[in-house]
Every structure is written in structure tokens, then in C-alpha cells.
Amino acid sequence: MSERFVYLNGSYMPISKASVSVLDRGFLFGDGVYEVIPVFGSKLLRVDGHLQRLATSLERISLDNPFSEAEWKQKFDQLLDCNPGDDRAIYLQITRGVYPIRDLKIQPGIEPTVFMMTLNVEPVDLDVLEKGIETVTIEDFRWSACDIKSTSLVANVMLRQQATQYGVVDAVLIKQGMVTEGTASNIFIVKNDTLITPPTSKHLLPGITRDLVLELANDNEISTEVREIAATELRDADEVWLTSSTREIAPVVRLNDKVVGSGKAGPLWHKMINIYQEYKQQLRQG
Ligand SMILES: Cc1ncc(COP(=O)(O)O)c(C=O)c1O
């Protein structure tokens, strides 16, 4: 397999040649933000939504956006041209750059570090996805700035590790008795044929897949509610889903010691995954 080409600070280069200073604030403090944008064929899924969220994340951490939307898109095209493939994702991150002194204070005039690479994404296998995932609920101890797609992910790493120690693939996070999201995904529950997800807030990431699922549900006359979900509602939910750019829509079949619904991917999931695959197919065909 040929070597991946990445983008770093204005140049495209083989990944083995890309390096960043140990004084980069991304390395020292996790002082940066990132995005993951799925690509189907050569088409980017919801690129405007990802660029809008990137702009918001940058603004929240007081870092200027280095490029206009048109410049970002041109760079994405160039990166994809350097890395031929079918289904992929673009990972990009911007850190506050290198400063000679290790100091939390933001110094003016530092050049940000801009990095991009493609990620290999296994095409979603519906037979595997349909089997569902097992999860546990864990107390969400993260900060009140989870709406920022920050590279400071140690809390998410710890939570995922706790889930692994329970022998399951992910956790459903609970803050003060209310459901927030997964460790790298948003959550939906289904109750009486209505799809329910918590509202955006400082306690969860405004997922692009979440928005798309809500939009597709509304377009297809599936009833939706955006409202807080009490942790106690999980026990009686007919279905529970986790959504993200890479996982798409994963049905949760077990939560703690209890099966969810019938213990299999539910009927609304089947309906929605077909709508979602159709949407992707249309995107791929332009
Ligand atoms: C904490 C968290 N919530 C939600 C999501 C889902 O966001 P998206 O649908 O934009 O991938 C992610 C994605 O990585 C995430 O890390």
C-alpha cells in the first residue's frame, strides 16, 4: 500500500515526513480543535455543517480560523487527490501552534499548526451493524464545554477505558441523572415510535450525524422530539441508538444488565438505516 499523504502547515507530504515541534501547544496542552468529515467516493458528507462547527469550536477557544470555507474545500480536494480511494474520512486539527515558553497564557501572533490526513473507514457492514452494541451507563464527569470539538480528549479516553473494563464497546454518559451522549457519539432513544434526543448544550457535542438523522426523520414523517432524557427512561426505551460520522447509526442492544427493547436492532432503526444508506448513495452519485 502506498504511503498516505498528509497536509501540514501549507505542504502536502508523506506521513513519515510530517513532524510537529514538542513545544506545540497541541502537544503540551491539548490546545486545539478537530473535525472528522466522512467522504463517500469523492463527496464529503455535510461539509458545510462540519466547517460551521469547526468555526464555532475555533471561536470558542479564541483561535482565528486560518482559512475561508472555499480555501478549506480546495485543500480537502487536494488532500483527496493525493490519497485516491473510495470511502474515507478527512481528519483535520488546528492547534494554537508553537511558542518557546510553556505558559498557559495565549501569546499573540503565534501561527497555528494546521494538520490534515485521510482516515481509512471500513465500509459499514449492515449485517454486523444490525447485531448492535453492548454498553454501560457511566457518570459523565467531563467539563462544561463539551460542545467544543477539542483535541483535549483525555476524559473521553478514560470513559471509553471504563467501558472496555466492563467488557463492552461504549458507554452511555449520564450527568446529574440526565443522558448526555456516548464517549464519541450522540444518543437517540425510541419510545412509542418517537425518536428522542437531548437538545444541544454545553454538555454534548452538536453531532453532524445527529442533525442529519433528525432531518431525515422529519423528511420521512418519523416523529421526533428534542428534549432532555432522564437516565431512568433508558430502561423502558424501545430502542437506543448511538450516532457518529464513523459509526453512523449503531443500535444499542444491551445496557448494563438489561437488554434494550427486544434485544435486537429495532424496527425504527431498520427504517432509518435504510433512509441513511439511501442518502449516502445519492450523495455518492452527486
Ligand atoms: C463526544 C462526541 N459526541 C458526538 C459525536 C458525533 O459527532 P459527529 O456526528 O459529528 O461525528 C462525536 C464524534 O466524534 C464525539 O466525539
Instruction: Note whether 81 and 215 are same-domain residues.
Output: no
Instruction: Note whether 114 and 192 are same-domain residues.
Output: no
Query: Of 120, 153, 181, at which residue does a domain stop?
Result: 120
Q: Which domain holds residue 51?
A: 5-120
What is the mean pLDDT, run by run of 10 residues, along the chain of 286 residues? Answer: 92 98 98 98 96 98 98 98 94 98 96 97 90 97 98 98 97 98 98 98 98 98 98 97 96 97 95 97 92
Which triple of cell numbers denotes residue 257? 444488565
The answer to whether the CB of 184 is under 6 A from ligand 1 is yes
Q: Where are the alpha helices (DSSP H) in 43-123?
A: 47-60, 69-82
Q: For ligand 1, atom 4, name the residue with the nearest CA.
A: 185
Q: Which residue type sits at 123?
A: P
Instruction: Note whether 86 and 150 are same-domain residues.
Output: no
Distances (CA, A) of 223 to 76, 153, 193, 197: 36, 34, 7, 12
Query: Of 72, 103, 120, at which residue does a domain stop?
Result: 120
Domain CATH code at residue 218: 3.20.10.10
Instruction: Note whether 242 and 150 are same-domain residues.
Output: yes
The answer to whether the CB of 185 is under 6 A from ligand 1 is yes
Query: Of 74, 94, 120, at which residue does a domain stop?
Result: 120
Cα dihedral: 5, 9, 11, 15 (round 10): -20
Q: For ligand 1, atom 13, name the residue with the nearest CA.
A: 184
Quick one: which of 96, 123, 89 has its CA closest to 112? Answer: 96
Which triple of cell numbers denotes residue 91? 481528519
Q: How many domains does the chain have?
A: 2
Instruction: Note whether 142 and 213 are same-domain residues.
Output: yes
Q: Provide DSSP, 133-178.
A: EEEEEEE----S-TTS-BS--HHHHHHHHHHHHTTSSEEEEEETTE
Instruction: Note whether 249 and 145 are same-domain residues.
Output: yes
Residue 286 is predicted with a pLDDT of: 85
Which triple of cell numbers denotes residue 14? 508523506
Instruction: Note whether 64 and 35 are same-domain residues.
Output: yes
Q: Are strands 194-197 and 223-226 parallel, antiparallel or unpaired?
A: parallel
Instruction: Note whether 142 and 113 are same-domain residues.
Output: no
Which triple of cell numbers denotes residue 66? 486560518
Separation CA 240–CA 255 (nearest Å): 9
The alpha carbon of 217 and the centre of ligand 1 are apart by a number of angstroms equal to 19
The alpha carbon of 148 and the centre of ligand 1 are apart by a number of angstroms equal to 10
Q: For ligand 1, atom 16, name the residue with the nearest CA.
A: 184
Domain CATH code at residue 35: 3.30.470.10
Q: Phi and psi at residue 19, in whole multiples of 5°?
A: -145, 155
Active-site residue list: 149
Site of grid cell 478537530: 34
Residue 1 is predicted with a pLDDT of: 65
The answer to whether the CB of 181 is under 6 A from ligand 1 is yes
Q: Are strands 239-244 and 248-255 parallel, antiparallel or unpaired?
A: antiparallel
